[in-house]
Amino acid sequence: MNKKEAVKRIEFLREELKKHNHNYYVLSKPAISDFEYDIMMNDLVFLENKFPDLKDENSPSAKVGNDSSNEFVQVDHKYPMLSLGNTYSEEDLIDFDSRVKKILTGPFSYTCELKYDGASISLVYKNGKLTRAVTRGDGDKGDDVTANVRTIRTIPHTLTGSDYPAEFEIRGEIILPHDSFDKLNNDRISAGDFAFANPRNAASGTLKLQNPAEVAKRGLDCFLYYLLGENLPTNSHFENLIAARKWGLNVAPHPERVSTIEEAIGFTKKWNEKRYDLPFDIDGIVVKVDSLDQQRVLGFTSKSPRWAISYKFKAEQAVTDLLSIDYQVGRTGAITPVANLEPVLLAGTTVKRASLHNADQISLHDIRINDRVYVEKGGEIIPKVVGVDLNSRLPGSQPVVYISNCPECGTELIRKEGEAKHFCPNEDGCPPQIKGKIEHFVSRKAMNINCAEATIDLLYQKGLIKNIADLYDLKKEQIANLERFGEKSAQNLTESIQESKKAGFERVLFALGIRFVGETVAKTLAKKLKNIDLVINASLDQLREIEEIGDKIAESVTQHFSKPGNIEIVNRLKAAGVNFQADESNDILSDKLNGLTIVISGTFSRLSRDEIKELIVKHGGKNAGSISANTDYFLTGANIGPEKLKKAQKLGIKFLTEDEFIDMIG
């Protein structure tokens, strides 16, 4: 990369990192993973070191992320509240140890601690009383959130004993334990709100609420891990934590003091395996020089202490070559770029393709053909490309030029304001969109028609179906004459299509493929509006008044039925006998499960999972997706999910068999 290219890339990275700092610290809505963020930061540092005259003291590489908000009073930190340097490798821990040894002349030890995934906080105590709680902010000053922090039960307002300093500061992390997170998301979903993506976002967002009473309801917790002040009990960080615990402070659990970096690495390996047993999230380990005197000798950089380092746990990752990029068209017209990769082993499977998400992500990571790329699986089913190894980039490589026309039908792509993806607007003439809508319509949770993807493709290619209504015009003789079909298979398909006419209104509404109308929203609309004509004629305001229906969904529903083609489809389906009327006779069968929350897991012999979920609701209960302290029963079949099983056993949740459940509802 020449200097002109470096200037352009550095400016881009600085702007992107500033934006992602704002998303992470202020909005509590990170758009990328920590690993992706760190790769971008490393790219910026790499380029700034390669071209030193391009360095800038205001660059994100030289500053701490800022979580300050204009809605809170700003307070100066007595001691700068810096961030830690990050690493993902044992080699970097060994390098850190070497740097420490070069500066310190005598023996030293390390304290190893769990790295909590939450929001940093600084608490000030004077004469044993909590006087102030401040967020990290920009490291020099942060938001005064004392009123919110006082609602957290594990943070004492008054200390116990009498041997604490007259004034001191203790820092920690405000987190949301798994139980509180599950309850919060279940409550939000029930109220029609979007669920939080993870406990870290939820904790940070909660801390910035303007209503302490609402904060108190959410079940925040706080672990404290660093004591500062003029007259601390000892010169040992580890011993000070023990003392603070005696004062009633909720000091972070599981710290260990070790003598060598090898022992510290052993600590990281132990907790990399055990972290899933914890009732809260950790994303790594922090290693600190234990002696406060030695910490002062080591000092600080502009944004990090030299006496501590953060080792982050890796998601499943691999490095391979990006060979080419394909562009896929979804049933909604959304364009997804997909990387074709040199096959590489990742998380036990060979990966040949990985998602690139959208044009912004390609630009964000400056992904180019023939780059060596980082591929990550993590908790995602489909691998994704999360970064580039700039050191191995080939000379003469060119940035990717994102397509401007649909790869299937040639229509010029559009990108709506606020949308991350490009879309093909030709929904009635673009083959993947047409077939995708039909595939969704026949799916098990929609109309449950026994029609495979290959069959839909064949029927479309032969000109027998061009939309979902065409399915009901199919004749057995037409199907039987197709390749791979015969009399029996044609009979089975036509019978399955006829049987689908009995599907409940909520399933039909879901099957129509209205954007943002999933199973839950379809059930809500069907329950409130009773028939398709009421849905079609509902105004924006009428839709917004329905609990769980927000602006986005209301606008999508009205927009869908404003198109004459979609109304024609509904009229044809009506004429074919498809059910567009809610059955009010059996909405509620009894109140035998009233107030009970039930989680199901496994496979069952007498009922399907969908039937069980429906029966829970019809008998007054609530079907939850995850185990929490609020779960009343864990309904289990064969092949139970191991994580749910472990959590249910740990919380002492009562187990139910399928037969016991059927007996319970009569």
Instruction: Report phi then psi at 38, rounded to 5.
Output: -65, -35
Other Cβ atoms less than 10 A from the Cβ of 625: the count is: 13
Rounded Cα gap, residues 622 and 303, in angstroms: 48
Name the strand (E) or helix (H) holding 630.
Answer: none
3-state secondary structure of 356: coil
Rounded Cα gap, residues 656 and 593, in angstroms: 13
User: CB-based contacts of 431: which residues, under 8 Å, 6+ apart?
Assistant: 408, 409, 460
3-state secondary structure of 237: helix
| Single-letter amino acid, residue 70 | N
Do the Cβ atoms of 383 and 377 come closer than 8 Å? yes
Pairing of strands 282-289, 308-312: antiparallel
Output the 3-class SS for 258-274: ECCHHHHHHHHHHHHHH
Do the Cβ atoms of 581 and 614 come closer than 8 Å? no
Instruction: Report phi then psi at 124, rounded to 5.
Output: -115, 125
| DSSP β-bridge partners for residue 348 | none
Rounded Cα gap, residues 452 and 539, in angstroms: 37
User: CB-based contacts of 653: which residues, under 8 Å, 6+ apart?
Assistant: 599, 627, 631, 632, 633, 634
115 given a catalytic annotation: yes
Which of 4, 115, 141, 647 is catalytic? The answer is 115
Residues recognised as catalytic: 115
